């Protein structure tokens, strides 16, 4: 009824090629962004910001990066956690080793360092494919885990092995309260999402998709696999690296290598697959699902325990949480193997015909 | 020299142990094309079940003194448990995910892994439990006549390696000589062709997962009696992954040879290279080693050649 495109004629190429060609979509997205920027900081309390919304924003950014590589270029990676670690530690080193380095520049340089590392560890993708590649990317994960734990230079010889960063100062704006942090991350996420959307619908994105769909055929029609694959690794690692730097600088403040362990890599891949491979919106859905689920389960289990008057130990709750998490993941994969983004687009198709489906 | 040989032997032994876990991966990948990330969780689950039942059964039956019988019964119960797990996985998960992409299946097995990790520790508890199947613990010295001081060998490792070798032999005979084994190989070659000549796909998958469950149990018992049945057992699978890709995802002998190469490489690198770079390098060195091999043979040492068709 409201979501109809009848009568909307496009008369220029520009209007035909917009990101959101339907005005309803455009307004809806603008409204969501406006609410996120203005409404949320006014309405939401600090706990929710710190525990859910900030992790959600940062992990969405990381999932966006992983989605570029896995969803658009078809190269499965299990080393995303390592890219986050490289981003975080490189940003940290830029910040403390270069005098007067602005924090935002350090974060972006951290992303660049992660991109370089991504190119090096993505190089095997030129020879190795599929599951072999997935396992090969684990090499990066374990190597960087080891490097940040054992090579003292990276952590500035910190005796405890953990590093910490003071509050970020951005052109006189000190980012210290959860609301500030939320707005900072949201700003970065919006800019990066827009960039990602434009990348994947541009020439380079189409090359990635051609490689994903059939790399031999793509090579035959003149796409350079080396350039396409390595650029996907670089862009993806840049995104994930920036997310890692944000995770360390903004969310954690002080961190150790365990913050970017292999579980993080699995988590990011889960987000992409549950959210929807090859869909920008899928990264957000997946991140929301994976971030909210443990908190939700925790609350529900606590409630249930209270309801039946059982004394549920913390360890037991965490085991049951893991169990239910695993079961839900399998359930989601069975119900909708193409991810929540697909559910969303089916829903949208239904909405177009509503209330008179024929 | 004797130190070098000792390290080498130690590497070969631990390599056999990796092969045990790697075998589970290969079996399932061969027959269903699923890369089973839950193998580590299965090892943990089997080890926990073995440890706890060998503790509970004597209590229930009131025969605390007969360790042998208790272990035997615990193994029997654990086998039944692993069969049930295999059946449930096929029934509840795989059946619904036929023809999905590799990445989706991979994630599904990761989900199964989380589930097994969680439920295993919910049901069986999350402490460190000991598995005592009477493995000899004391090290022995051999070849004293050849080298000064001889070579120190861990008897436990030796027994474990022997059991692993036996298991591989049994599996090879099962795959090559029995009707079920032939059916398994047919399914591995071509699902549709196998189905068209009347091989029941569902049952074959249950069998494969059962066999993988048994390998997990053997690995769980051996690793568990070495390290204790505890959560860290499920990370053993991560140590076995380079073995699988080095040997080739589809090759049983590959899992063995790969395991030996990785085991030796790990130990030698740790002992001779580790001190220069700060130690603890064995885990990533194994992956790097596998990666170097992969650059020359992308399908692993013994894997089937990958043929691309446009």
Would you give per-residue pLDDT tens digits along chain A (358 residues)? 677 777 778 888 888 888 887 778 888 889 888 888 888 778 888 888 888 888 999 999 999 999 999 889 888 888 899 999 999 999 999 888 887 788 888 899 999 999 999 999 888 888 887 778 888 888 888 888 888 888 778 777 777 778 877 777 777 777 778 888 888 899 999 999 999 999 999 999 999 999 988 888 998 999 998 899 999 999 999 999 999 999 988 888 888 888 888 888 988 988 888 888 888 888 999 999 888 888 888 788 777 777 776 666 777 777 888 888 888 888 888 888 788 888 888 888 888 887 777 6
Tally of domains in chain B: 1
Which of A262, A316, A329 comes nearest B122 by C-beta? A316
In a domain, B63, yes or no: yes
A146 in B contact zone (CB under 8 Å)? yes
Instruction: Pull the structure tokens for residue A260.
Output: 């970017």
CATH number, residue B200: 1.10.3470
Q: Do B93 and A135 touch (CB under 8 A)?
A: no
Cβ neighbourhood burial of B267 (10 Å; 0-12, 13-18, 19+) = buried
Scan residues 64-83 of A and list those with Cβ closer than 8 Å to B.
70, 76
In a domain, B309, yes or no: no
Contact between B57 and B76 (Cβ < 8 Å): no
| Residue-wise burial string across B135-144, b where 16 or more C-beta atoms lie within 10 A, e elsewhere | beeeeeeeee
In a domain, B306, yes or no: no
Q: How far apart are CA B219 and CA B82, in angstroms?
A: 13
Q: Do A136 and B116 touch (CB under 8 A)?
A: no
All structural domains of chain A with their residue ranges: 45-353
Determine which of A322, A332, A341, A342 to mutate to test the interface with B (most B C-beta atoms within 10 Å). A322
A255 in helix, strand or coil?
A: strand
Strands A173-175 and A168-170: antiparallel
Q: How far apart are CA B64 and CA B51, in angstroms?
A: 15
Scan residues 302-321 of A and list those with Cβ closer than 8 Å to B.
315-316, 319-321
In a domain, B303, yes or no: no
Helix runs in chain B, H state only: 2-32, 39-61, 67-88, 102-124, 155-177, 179-189, 191-196, 201-227, 236-247, 252-268, 274-277, 282-296
Q: How far apart are CA B69 and CA B89, in angstroms?
A: 30
Contact between A319 and A265 (Cβ < 8 Å): no
In a domain, B208, yes or no: yes
Contact between B37 and B241 (Cβ < 8 Å): no
CA-closest candidate to residue A145, choices A56, A218, A82: A82
Distances (CA, A) of A141 to A4, A156, B107: 47, 21, 18
**Which residues of A are less than 8 Å from B96 in CB distance?**
334
In a domain, B310, yes or no: no
Query: In this predicted complex, what is the ipTM?
Result: 0.82
In a domain, B302, yes or no: no
CATH number of A45-353: 1.10.3470
**Which residues of A are less than 8 Å from B97 in CB distance?**
333-334, 337
State which residues form the domain around B255.
2-296
Distances (CA, A) of B290 to B16, B220, B293, B298: 16, 24, 5, 10
């Amino acid at each position: 009824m409201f979501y109809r495109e009848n009568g909307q004629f496009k008369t220029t190429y520009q209007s035909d090629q917009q990101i959101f060609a339907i005005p309803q979509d455009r307004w809806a997205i603008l409204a969501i962004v406006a609410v996120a920027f203005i409404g949320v900081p006014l309405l939401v309390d600090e706990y929710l910001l710190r525990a859910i919304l900030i992790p959600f924003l940062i992990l969405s950014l990381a999932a966006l990066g992983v989605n570029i590589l896995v969803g658009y270029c078809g190269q499965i990676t299990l080393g995303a956690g390592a890219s986050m670690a490289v981003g975080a530690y490189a940003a940290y080193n830029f910040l403390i080793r270069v005098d007067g380095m602005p924090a935002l520049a350090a974060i972006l340089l951290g992303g660049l360092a992660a991109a370089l590392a991504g190119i090096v560890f993505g190089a095997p993708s030129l020879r190795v494919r599929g599951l072999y590649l997935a396992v090969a990317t684990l090499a990066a994960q374990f190597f960087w885990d080891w490097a940040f734990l054992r090579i003292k230079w990276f952590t500035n010889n910190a005796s405890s092995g953990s590093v910490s960063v003071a509050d970020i100062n951005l052109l006189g704006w000190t980012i210290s309260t959860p609301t500030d942090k939320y707005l900072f991350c949201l700003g970065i996420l919006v800019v990066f999402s827009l960039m990602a959307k434009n990348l994947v619908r541009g020439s380079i994105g189409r090359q990635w998709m051609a490689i994903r769909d059939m790399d031999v055929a793509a090579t035959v029609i003149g796409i350079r696999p080396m350039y396409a694959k390595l650029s996907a690794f670089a862009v993806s690692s840049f995104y994930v690296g920036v997310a890692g730097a944000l995770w360390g600088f903004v969310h954690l403040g002080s961190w150790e290598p365990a913050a970017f362990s292999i579980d993080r890599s699995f988590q990011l891949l889960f987000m992409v697959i549950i959210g929807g491979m090859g869909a920008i919106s899928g990264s957000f859905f997946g991140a929301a699902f994976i971030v909210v689920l443990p908190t939700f389960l925790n609350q529900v289990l606590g409630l249930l325990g209270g309801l039946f008057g059982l004394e549920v130990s913390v360890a037991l709750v965490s085991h049951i949480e893991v169990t239910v998490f695993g079961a839900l993941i399998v359930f989601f994969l069975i119900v909708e193997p193409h991810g929540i983004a697909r559910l969303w687009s089916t829903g949208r198709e239904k909405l177009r015909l509503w209330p008179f489906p024929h | 020299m004797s130190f070098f040989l000792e390290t080498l032997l130690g590497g070969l032994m631990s390599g056999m142990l990796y092969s045990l876990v790697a075998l589970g991966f290969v079996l399932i990948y061969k027959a269903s094309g699923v890369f089973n990330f839950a193998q580590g969780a299965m090892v943990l689950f089997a080890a926990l079940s073995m440890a706890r039942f060998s503790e509970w059964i004597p209590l229930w039956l009131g025969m605390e003194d007969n360790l042998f019988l208790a272990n035997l019964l615990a193994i029997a119960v654990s086998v039944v448990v692993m069969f049930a797990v295999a059946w449930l996985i096929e029934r509840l998960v795989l059946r619904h995910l036929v023809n999905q992409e590799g990445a989706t299946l991979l994630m599904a097995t990761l989900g199964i892994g989380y589930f097994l990790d969680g439920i295993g520790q919910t049901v069986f508890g999350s402490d460190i439990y000991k598995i005592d199947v009477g493995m000899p613990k004391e090290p022995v010295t051999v070849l004293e006549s050849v080298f000064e001081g001889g070579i120190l060998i861990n008897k436990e490792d030796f027994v474990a390696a022997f059991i692993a070798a036996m298991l591989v032999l049994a599996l090879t005979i099962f795959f090559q000589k029995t009707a079920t084994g032939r059916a398994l190989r047919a399914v591995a070659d071509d699902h549709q062709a196998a189905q068209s000549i009347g091989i029941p796909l569902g049952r074959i998958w249950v069998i494969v997962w059962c066999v993988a469950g048994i390998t997990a149990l053997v690995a769980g018992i051996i690793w568990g009696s070495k390290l204790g049945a505890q959560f860290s057992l499920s990370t053993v699978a991560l140590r076995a992954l380079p073995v699988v890709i080095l040997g080739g995802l589809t090759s049983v002998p590959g899992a063995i040879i790969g395991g030996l190469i990785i085991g030796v490489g790990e130990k030698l690198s740790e002992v001779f290279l580790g001190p220069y770079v700060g130690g603890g390098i064995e885990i990533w060195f194994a992956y790097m080693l596998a990666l170097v091999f992969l650059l020359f043979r992308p399908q692993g040492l013994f894997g089937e050649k990958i043929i691309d068709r446009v």
